[in-house]
Amino acid sequence: MTHKDRIETAWAFREADRVPIEISISPEWRQHPLAERLMELIHEHADNFVKVPGPEFGFMGLPNRYTETVVEKKPGEYEKRLRVRETPAGTFTAITYHPDGVTRDFHWEKRYVSCLGDLEKLALAPRTPALWDRQAHRARTREIGGSAMPYVGLFHPLGSLTRNANMEKVYTWFHDEPGLAHRYLTAANAQVVATIEAMQPFPEEGLTFLSSAHEMLIPPWMGHRLFDEFVFSYDEAVYQTVHKRGGRIRAHCHGKCMGFLEKFAQMGIDAIEPLECAPRGDVDLSKAKRLVGKRMLLSGNVVSEDFFRTTPDEVRERVRRAIRAGARGGGFTLRTSGGAAGTGTDMPEEDMMRVIRNCETYILAGLEFGQYPIPPA
């Protein structure tokens, strides 16, 4: 069974030859000598979703010309960068602060959408269906073959707004300027629907879309009332269009989403990850399986952010519990909760070795405990 076939079988809510195992590590770590055995395990056993060319939505659904310049610098301490996006709706600017000027970490001093005027520009902007390079999509999909499940990214207008604006202001606008917020969401989501409808033709097997938005649209940011008003109907319309074309939606949603899983399934999400348990999330995987396990592919929920300090025995137990809770009957892939399985940051070599060892343990435990039939939890 190929890696793609294994995921497809699980997504059809059937038991494959074993539980699919998702894991990827950061590009910086892939070439490190210490990660050589880990990369061999990943190449042989990992059943991953891999991004392929899809619609190009630019900045907030608009074509844009991007420039970046250093506007302030104190050598050895920090630098500030001005980021500029020129669009048909006007110019949007942001400023980022980078400690010591070389690290990948930074924080926003100013976001692109910083005032009501910026939101109004987005609401009134001329919008057309995003372009899709069908030839590039086909080429990359052929290259992947059965080694992974291809997906394309999908612009989520509200999720993108919360990431490109001051979040407190966005949630204030929901209360103070709901009409303008709805005007933007109506126009931008209509563009997403038109883009999907214009993607001719879909591949025979359909397309898998990935949306990375909902973690910004649940507690502590939004409750059910605001979610119902500003998320549900807009997302439902998009996902209905995807389903009419034979496609599927996978949602990336960190945080406390347990109380929203039923709503996610109702509005048309077909798969969700990473289903974090406490303390970062609140997902009880056994309950999630009973609640929506026949409607959504569930992927998770092995905590990996602390791989730099946990023991292999602790990782094995996390894998065992997750598989016992979610894998029977299919509809489940094993997945780490942290981005890049905890490998996305610089750390001392001792910690790095511990993370790599725990990633190896995660894969091997998945192979050990993920053989069907799965015993009861």
State how far the Cα of 353 lies from the Cα of 308, in Å rounded to an integer.
8
Mean pLDDT of 120-126: 97
DSSP assignment letter at 115: S
Whole-number percent of the chain with pLDDT over 70: 99
> What are the pLDDT digits (tens) for 54-101?
999 999 999 999 999 999 999 989 999 999 999 999 999 999 999 885
Q: What is the pLDDT of residue 101?
A: 59
pLDDT of residue 102: 59
**Alpha helix ranges (H) inside 199-232:** 224-227
Q: Is residue 204 predicted with pLDDT exceeding 80?
A: no
Question: What is the residue-averaged pLDDT of the chain?
Answer: 95
Contact 34, 348 (CB under 8 A): no
Task: Enter the tokens of residue 362.
Answer: 């995660």
**From 97-101, 125-129, 319-323, 331-335, the region with the lowest mean pLDDT:** 97-101
User: CA 306, 307, 310: angle at the middle one, nearest 5?
Assistant: 85
**Among positive and negative, which fits the CA dihedral 262, 264, 269, 270?**
negative
Task: Specify the pTM.
Answer: 0.95
3-60+116-369: CATH, from 3.10.20.580, 3.40.50.300, 3.20.20.210, 3.30.70.120: 3.20.20.210
For 94-120, what is each residue's pLDDT tens digit?
999 998 855 567 899 999 999 999 999
Question: What letter would DSSP give residue 230?
Answer: I
